[in-house]
Amino acid sequence: MQIPLVDLKAQYQALRPEIDAAIAAVMAEAAFVGNVSNPFVRKFAEEFAAFVGVKHCVPCANGTDAIEILLQAAGVGPGDEVIVPAVSWIATSEAVTTVGARPVFADIDPRTCTLSPEDFVRKITPRTKAVIPVHLYGQPADMDPILATAKDRGLFVLEDCAQAHGARYRGRQVGTIGDAASFSFFPGKNLGAYGDAGGMVTNDEALASRARMISQHGQGKGKHDHQIEGRNSRLDGIHAAVLSVKLKYLAQGNARRREHAAHYLRLLANTGLTFQHAPATDYHVYHLFTVQVARRDEIVAELQRDGIGVTIQYPRALPLLAAYASRGHEPADFPAAAALTARVLSLPMYPELTVEQIEWTAKRLREAVGV
Ligand X SMILES: *Cc1c(COP(=O)(O)O)cnc(C)c1O
Q: What residues make contact with ligand X under the rule CB under 6 A?
A: 62-64, 88-89, 91-92, 134, 160, 162-163, 184, 186, 196, 198
Neighbours of 214 (CB within 10 A): 24
Phi-psi region of 180 (alpha: psi -120 to 50; beta: other; left: phi over 0): beta
Amino acid at 316: R
Helices (H), 140-278: 143-153, 205-215, 237-247, 250-267
Residue 258 Cβ, how far from ligand X at the closest point, in Å? 19
- Determine the Cα angle at 240 with ends 237 and 241, to 5°: 90
Residue 198 Cβ, how far from ligand X at the closest point, in Å? 5
Nearest residue to 218 via CA among 206, 203, 233: 233
Neighbours of 163 (CB within 10 A): 25
- Nearer to ligand X among residue 137 and residue 264 (C-beta): 137
C-alpha distances (whole Å) from 226 to each of 208, 211, 223 are 17, 14, 8
- Nearer to ligand X among residue 184 and residue 244 (C-beta): 184
Residue 187 Cβ, how far from ligand X at the closest point, in Å? 9
Nearest residue to 99 via CA among 120, 131, 73: 73
- Nearer to ligand X among residue 81 and residue 160 (C-beta): 160
- Nearer to ligand X among residue 166 and residue 369 (C-beta): 166
- Determine the Cα angle at 360 with ends 16 and 271, to 5°: 130
- Nearer to ligand X among residue 92 and residue 128 (C-beta): 92
Question: 63-73 and 91-98 helices cross at what angle (nearest 10)?
Answer: 40
Residue 175 Cβ, how far from ligand X at the closest point, in Å? 13
Nearest residue to 47 via CA among 347, 256, 250, 346: 250
Tell me the residue nearest to ligand X as measured from the CB.
Answer: 63
Residue 305 Cβ, how far from ligand X at the closest point, in Å? 27
- Nearer to ligand X among residue 130 and residue 362 (C-beta): 130
Contacts of 59 (CB under 8 A, 6+ apart): 34, 41, 44, 45, 48, 197, 198, 199, 200, 234, 235, 240
Residue 192 Cβ, how far from ligand X at the closest point, in Å? 9
Residue 144 Cβ, how far from ligand X at the closest point, in Å? 21
- Nearer to ligand X among residue 134 and residue 208 (C-beta): 134
